[in-house]
Amino acid sequence: MLERTPRKDRTQVTFILPTDTPPGPVSVVGDFNDWRPGIHTLTPRKDGNRAVTVELPSNSTHSFRYLAAGDYWFNDETAVDHDGPNSRLHT
């Protein structure tokens, strides 16, 4: 799930997944972090989910995917757009 919080010239995008689906550590990787795993790792929240927030320029489009343990890549099912094998988000 994606949550967007608009700011002056940026948008905070929070990437949210259930705590153990998939199990193990999960990173969100995309064009905003040069597709480098481990930079934006989802961490547990009090509500039972795990999440990470990334600030992105407003009015921009970004491709991303999740990377879980065991080299398991997957998309965000709530993303309304896709770019080939990647999810896309619009800020």
Q: Structural domain boundaries of the chain? A: 2-78
Closest C-alpha among 12, 24, 29 to residue 75: 29
Within a 10 A sphere around the Cβ of 80, how many other Cβ atoms?
Answer: 10
The token duo for 6 is 């608009």
Residue 34 amino acid letter = D
In CATH, the architecture of 2-78 is Sandwich (2.60)
pLDDT bin (cut points 50, 70, 90) of residue 40 is very high
66-77: per-residue pLDDT in tens?
999 989 999 998
Provide the whole-model pTM: 0.91
